[in-house]
Amino acid sequence: MAFRDWLVFSRTHTAALTIPGALMGAFLADPATTPTRLALVGVWAWLAHGAGFAVNNLLDLAWDRADPNKRHHPLVSGAIQERDAWLATLLASFAALVLGCWLGRDHPASWLALWGFVGFGTLYNHQCKVSLLAPLWISVSFACIPLYAWLAMGGGWSWTILYLVAYSFLLMVAQIAVSGYAKDLACAGEVNLLRRWGAEVTPRGEWHFPVEAIMMAFVLRWALATLGAFYFALHLPIQVGALTGVAIQCVAAWVLCGPLLRTLRNGWMPRAQRVKWMGLAEILAYWFLVGSLAFDLLVAWVVGLVVAPLAYYVVANRVYWGRGHALGPAV
CATH code at position 124: 1.10.357.140
Any idea which of 6-15, 42-51, 128-137 has the lowest mean pLDDT?
6-15
Please say if the pLDDT value at position 279 is more than 80. Answer: yes
What's the CA angle centered on 162, arms 294 and 260, to 5 degrees? 70
Give per-residue pLDDT as tens, 159-218.
999 999 999 999 999 989 998 898 888 777 788 899 899 998 888 888 999 999 999 999
* Amino acid letter, 293: L
Same domain, 115 and 130: yes
Backbone angles phi, psi at 17, to 5 degrees: -110, -10
Same domain, 247 and 206: yes
Shared-domain flag, residues 205 and 79 = no
User: How far apart are alpha carbons 217 and 87 in whole angstroms?
Assistant: 38
CA angle, 237 then 238 then 244, to 5°:
80
| pLDDT digit string, tens, across residues 203-224 | 888 899 999 999 999 999 999 9
Residues 177 and 208 both lie in one domain: yes
Q: In this structure, is residue 307 part of a structural domain?
A: no
pLDDT at site 148:
97
Domain region containing 183: 158-296
Are 92 and 51 in contact by the 8 Å Cβ rule? The answer is yes
Residue 3 lies in a domain: yes
> Does one domain contain both 169 and 235?
yes
Tell me, yes or no, whether 318 lies in a domain. no
pTM over 0.75: yes
pLDDT at 330 over 80: no
In a domain, 53, yes or no: yes
Distance, in Å, from the CA atom of 263 to the CA atom of 275, rounded to the nearest integer, reads 8
User: Does residue 215 fall inside a structural domain?
Assistant: yes
Of the three residues 112, 133, 156, the one that is the final residue of a domain is: 156
Question: Cα angle at 269 between 206 and 257, to 5 degrees?
Answer: 105
Are the beta carbons of 178 and 140 closer than 8 angstroms? no
**Residue where a domain stops, chosen among 136, 156, 176:** 156
Say whether both 21 and 143 belong to one domain: yes
* Count of domains for the chain: 2
Same domain, 66 and 76: yes
Are residues 231 and 127 located together in one domain of the fold? no
260 and 276, same domain (yes or no): yes
Coil, helix or strand for 106? coil
309 within a domain of the structure (yes/no): no
DSSP code per residue over 25-90: HHHHH-TT--HHHHHHHHHHHHHHHHHHHHHHHHHTHHHHHT-GGGTTSHHHHTSS-HHHHHHHHH
Same domain for 248 and 100: no
Mean of all residue pLDDT scores within the chain:
88
**Do 243 and 218 share a domain, yes or no?**
yes
| Span 243-257, average pLDDT | 90
